Amino acid sequence: MPTSRKRKKNNHTSLESLAISSPTNRDDTNEADGDVNSHGELVTPSSTQAPQTTDEEELQRARLTYTNGISDSYQYYLTPELSNQLDKHKRRMITYPCRLCGQHISRPTSDFSCSNLNKHVAGCLRKQNNSKKTHTLASLGIKGTGEINPKEVPQLCAVWCAEAAQPFSALVDESHQAILHPTIVKHLPTRKAVS
């Protein structure tokens, strides 16, 4: 009857055991086959590895992708350029200048995703929509009057009534006071003082 014990496995890999069982001269192995390198490690044949491209070739590929308009996000960017910034593989990155704000968004040459471009565009559009909703007086061309001296308020009111041909009673109108500066409203002359 056979024993129920398991055999102890040999820790050698098949390549190591092959190298141990049939020692050969390492100079005689054909490295062009790409099967085993000088350290006995399995290597992918060079015909199946992607060829190493230059930064300029990657830029041409990025420009071709940009002109083909594969993604809608490219419409918010100008033609891609080669950046001086390096990625983690020490290769130059491709930069996309934003049409909305002018900021350069960098992307590694190994990254084909548009997620960082889409994220930036979403932020730019949000900022643009928020700025359209809130207008300031300066953006409309109205310049500040500077400091208002409370002692000059009665004189300013008299000048306004004379130049605009308004009666003095217009000064106490609530709709008129709503558009005046708080300092002026606080120091407006009373109805008795005006008459």
The H or E element that residue 140 is part of is none
Tell whether the torsion through CA atoms of 71, 72, 78 and 83 is positive or negative: negative
Whole-number mean pLDDT of the chain? 72
Out of 9-13, 17-21, 85-89, which region has the weakest mean confidence (pLDDT)? 17-21
Q: What are phi and psi of 82, to 5 degrees?
A: -90, 125
Percent of the chain with pLDDT over 90: 0
pLDDT digits (tens, 9 = 90+) for 79-125: 888 888 888 888 888 888 888 888 888 888 777 788 888 888 899 88
Q: How far apart are CA 79 and CA 81, in angstroms?
A: 7
Record the pTM.
0.43
pLDDT digits (tens, 9 = 90+) for 134-158: 666 666 666 666 677 778 888 877 7
Of 122, 118, 117, 119, which is closest to residue 107 (Cα–Cα)? Answer: 117
How many Cβ atoms are within 10 Å of 96's Cβ, its own excluded? 25
Of 166, 158, 80, 160, which is closest to residue 117 (Cα–Cα)? Answer: 80
The pLDDT value recorded for residue 28 is: 47
The pLDDT value recorded for residue 32 is: 45
Pairing between β-strand 81-86 and β-strand 92-97 as defined by DSSP bridges: antiparallel
Tell whether the torsion through CA atoms of 76, 79, 80 and 83 is positive or negative: negative
With cut-offs at 50, 70 and 90, classify the pLDDT of residue 42: low
